[in-house]
Every structure is written in structure tokens, then in C-alpha cells.
Amino acid sequence: MSSSVNGGASHLRKLAEQDLIDLVEGAAVFSAGGGGNPQVGSNIVERLVDEHCTVRLIEASEVPDREIVVNFACVGATANVAYRSDAAIKTFKTLEEYLDKKAYAVIPVELGGFNTLAAVDVASRLGIPVVDADGAGRAVPEVHLKVYTLDDIALAPMAVADLDAGNIVLIKQTRGLREAERITRVLAAEWNQMAYTARRVLTGKQVKTSPVQNTLSMSIRIGMLLRKAVDPLKAVLKETHGHYLFEGIVASAEHETKGGFTWTSMKLDGTQENTGSSLQLKAKNEFLAAHKDGRLAALAPDIITTISLDNCKCVQAEKAKKGDRLVVIGIPAPARWRSKEGLELWGEVLQESGIKDRYVPIEHLVK
């Protein structure tokens, strides 16, 4: 892996080891505290490098219209993330066998320090490229909560497997996206809260318009800024048009894993300019809402991410613990999530999670 990502260039390119390391850290910024443990993502990178695997990144425009691209990710509670390459590939090939067609490329379903790298790993080991795009532009808590849903692209057919791919379920069709989410979540809960999924088959034509574009190259750039910038947090906020929300110490953090999700309720007591204030965070795998002194500070689909003041690395919701020194940032959601249809989809998830707030764009809340 010798050649580095060439930001903005339109050609297939190989990702160097440092690109992949930066991808882990950068994708975690967009994970909203979810997307799986970045350490598992880093472990994937180590194995790819040790085994001299090649990772090729292509833009969606480079996929021929009549070829297919398959989404790959793990589903379940973020506290129970584990990964085996051979089982992931077996899951992916099960869907290909049913389709009787080989995938031209793999695309991540979301951005996250682990889940994005799982798709990269599968692509590399199958000898096909990974597309510089994803299905959400962030990490999301539910299977159907993707921009593909706004385009009526079906989840099924899909292959779902346990950690060892000893159990593989092929779902040929479902009545709707909600049913697909429930079936997948039940399977994940049965299999120690985690499952592999190969799903949402896109044509080359669809991949050019439906996913959020150029998100892997953006994540690599964010990872580079975290590593090289004099003031990493300031540089990341500038690059993402993000906002500083709060700085504080975790006063309490409650975590519960059930039903295929990790639920987190957390309180931070303010420090520095936030002394005397508090911030409440709620997560269903990903952070969904932040309230400062009882008032809404940020709400999904905008991205709420916690970053350690000690090492400037993202802290996943399920990993946060009492005494952690954190800064909380907010990043505007991709434009498609802010559409009427996008907000309606998120609104359903928020209400089911016990969050009743009405969405206000983060840039208006911070004024």
C-alpha cells in the first residue's frame, strides 16, 4: 500500500496504510458516537497491511451503469462489536450467489470507525474496489435509516449472518423497510447482539445519485487534520462547518444493551467557559439529542460527537465513563437528511426513542 489518496482526483486509486489509519479516525468523527469501536477498525487495518492486501477506492461515477454495488455492514449493539473477515466474506458471497451476479464494488452503509472499515475489508479481500460514498453520511441506529429509503431502494434481498457465519439467513423480500429492520434486529439480538449484513443492491446508475458522495475521501482528510493540524479540533470544525457545543467532565454515564441496541444516557458538568452548566446526551447506539441546561443544543440527523480532551480521539457513546474529559461537537447533517422526507424518517426514530423535540438546524441553535 504505497500510493496515497489523491483528494479530488477522479480515478481509481490505492489507499496507503496511513490513508486507512486516517479513515478510521476521520469516519469516527461522523459516527455520532456510534458506527462501532474504532479500535476494531484499526485492527482491520493492521491485518490488511500485514497480509499485503490492496485497497482500491473509486468514485461512484466510475461504476458502469449496468454493474451492481452491494452495501455491507454489521448490525446490532455498538457495545458488542466483533469481526471476522472470513465470515463477513461468506455472508457477502451468499448474497452474490442468490443474485447470480458478482458485485463490481462494495459500498459502506454508513460512516464509522468500524463499520466503514468492515466494507473496506470485504472489498479488498474480494479483489474489488470500495466506492467513495456511503448510505448515510454519518452513522445511524437503524437498518432502514439510510438515504436509499428516500429513493425507495429496497433493503432486500439481503444476507444476514452471525459472527462466525455458522448461521446465515437469506431474506428474499419483506413487506417494507420497517419489517426488514425488525427482522435484522431480532437476528442480531439472538446472535449476541451483532450480525453481518450484505444488503441494498444498487445499480451503477443508482450509486451515482442515491448515496452521500465522496465521504470516504472526506473522512481521510479529517483523519489527516486530526493527526497533523496545530489545532486539530478547530481544523475539523472548519472543514466540516461544525460547531463547538460543550466542554466538560462526565458526571454520570448509564449504558444498557438490549434489543440489538446500546442505549446511553450521559451527563457532563461544564468546565472552562461552560463552568456552571451541564449537558445531557441520549444515544441509541448513536447520540440522538443534546440538551444544555435543559434546552435543545443539537438533534439528529445533525451529528453529535464526543471527543477526548486528552488525545483528541472520538469517544464512542458506549465507552464514555464517569470522569472522562470531553468536548462535544455538532456537525450539520447531509442535505438529504434535512429534506422534508428525511426529517420525517428521523422524526419517527426519535419519537420511538423517547425524544420529543422538534428539529432545529444546529447552526440556528448555536446562535
DSSP string, 127-157: T--EESEESSSS--SSTT-SHHHHTT----S
d(CA 89, CA 72) in angstroms, rounded, equals 10
> Taking Cα atoms as reference points, which of 112, 160, 135 lies closest to residue 316?
112
Q: Beta strand pairing status for 278-284 and 133-134?
A: unpaired
Residue 258 has a pLDDT of 85
141 pLDDT above the threshold of 80: yes
Q: What is the pLDDT of residues 12-56, one digit of tens each?
A: 699 999 999 999 999 999 999 999 899 999 999 999 999 999 999
The answer to whether 211 and 203 have CB atoms below 8 angstroms apart is: no
Nearest to 184 by CA among 304, 300, 91: 91
**Residue 9 reports pLDDT greater than 90:** no
pLDDT digits (tens, 9 = 90+) for 23-34: 999 999 999 999
**Separation between Cα atoms, residue 122 and residue 44, nearest integer Å:** 10
Q: Residue 291 in contact with residue 266, Cβ under 8 Å?
A: no
The yes-or-no verdict on residue 78 having pLDDT over 50 is yes
Lowest pLDDT segment from 59-63, 86-90, 254-258: 254-258
Note the maximum CA span of the chain: 61
**Domains along the chain?**
13-216 (3.40.1610.10), 231-365 (2.40.390.10)
pLDDT given for residue 7 in this prediction: 40
C-alpha distances (whole Å) from 285 to each of 17, 34, 97 are 28, 5, 32
Name which residue leads in pLDDT, 78 or 115. 115
3-state secondary structure of 18: helix
Phi-psi region of 247 (alpha: psi -120 to 50; beta: other; left: phi over 0): beta
Binning pLDDT at 50, 70 and 90, where does residue 79 land? low
pTM score of the predicted model = 0.94
Q: What is d(CA 319, CA 324) in angstroms, rounded to the nearest whole number?
A: 10
